[in-house]
């Protein structure tokens, strides 16, 4: 990902913060509208069970995709970051000089891209589980939505988290170079 203007820490943090809240807000907005339009009854033990029949295909798919999204939300960003680190090292070999600035800008772009991908995976799975919940009424899907949104909330960027992330990956870059 190349940009015309270099990305700084403040911009990166602000972008990641707004993107995180926008994606969380979309899921929560859909949940609130769905609950207002069709309030659920009191959950019972049957709503937590899943019968393996043709009527629960959406629920089974949603739960499976939710679990896979949780795993992929860790693995895919790591792969993107690794690819970015390799590209930064390759660029450093081609054009030596101003190592710190080029590393930081490239790392900020990698952070932002990996953060967006992680949140998109979680948001998509959360939406699918919400649709499944409103269609089939299985509380288990709603619980998975809570876990997925919780993972998104845990990803909310802060200045300290970003600084720690940058330090960790700058050290990795130095070791790899």
Average pLDDT of the residues of the chain = 87
What digits encode the pLDDT tens for the residues 58-72? 989 999 999 999 999
Q: Using a CB cutoff of 8 Å and minimum separation of 24, what contacts does 79-84 make?
A: 80/110, 80/113, 80/114, 80/117, 81/110, 81/111, 81/114, 81/169, 84/109, 84/110, 84/113, 84/114
For residue 25, pLDDT beyond 90: yes
120 lies in some domain = yes
Q: How confident is the model at residue 49 (pLDDT cuts 50, 70, 90)?
A: low
Q: How confident is the model at residue 163 (pLDDT cuts 50, 70, 90)?
A: very high
Please name the residues in contact with 177: beta carbons below 8 A apart, sequence gap of 6 or more: 89, 92
| Model pLDDT, residue 83 | 94
| Model pLDDT, residue 63 | 94
| Model pLDDT, residue 91 | 81
33 lies in some domain = no
36 lies in some domain = no
Work out the percent of the chain whose per-residue pLDDT is above 90: 60
What value, to the nearest 5°, has the Cα angle with vertex 35 and ends 30 and 38? 120
Across 9-34, average pLDDT: 95
75 lies in some domain = yes
Reference 161, options 126, 115, 129; nearest CA is 115
49 lies in some domain = no
Across 138-151, average pLDDT: 93
| Model pLDDT, residue 90 | 86
Q: Which residue has the higher pLDDT, 84 or 7?
A: 84
Structural domain boundaries enclosing 115: 9-24+56-176
79 lies in some domain = yes
Across 76-93, average pLDDT: 90
| Model pLDDT, residue 5 | 61
| Model pLDDT, residue 143 | 92
169 lies in some domain = yes
Domain count for the chain, please give it: 1
85 lies in some domain = yes
Across 142-166, average pLDDT: 95
């Amino acid at each position: 990902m190349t940009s015309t203007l270099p990305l700084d820490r403040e911009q990166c943090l602000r972008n990641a913060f707004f993107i995180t809240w926008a994606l969380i807000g979309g899921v929560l907005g859909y949940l609130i509208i769905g609950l207002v339009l069709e309030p659920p009854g009191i959950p019972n033990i049957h709503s937590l069970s899943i019968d393996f029949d043709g009527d629960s295909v959406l629920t089974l798919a949603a739960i499976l995709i939710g679990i896979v999204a949780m795993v992929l939300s860790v693995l895919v960003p790591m792969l993107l970051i690794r690819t970015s680190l390799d590209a930064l090292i390759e660029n450093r070999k081609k054009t030596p000089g101003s190592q710190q600035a080029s590393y930081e800008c490239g790392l900020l772009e990698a952070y932002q891209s990996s953060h967006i991908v992680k949140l998109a995976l979680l948001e998509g799975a959360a939406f699918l589980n919400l649709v499944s919940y409103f269609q089939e009424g299985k509380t288990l899907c709603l619980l998975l939505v809570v876990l997925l949104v919780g993972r998104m909330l845990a990803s909310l960027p802060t200045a300290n988290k970003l600084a720690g992330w940058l330090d960790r990956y700058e050290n990795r870059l130095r070791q790899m170079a």
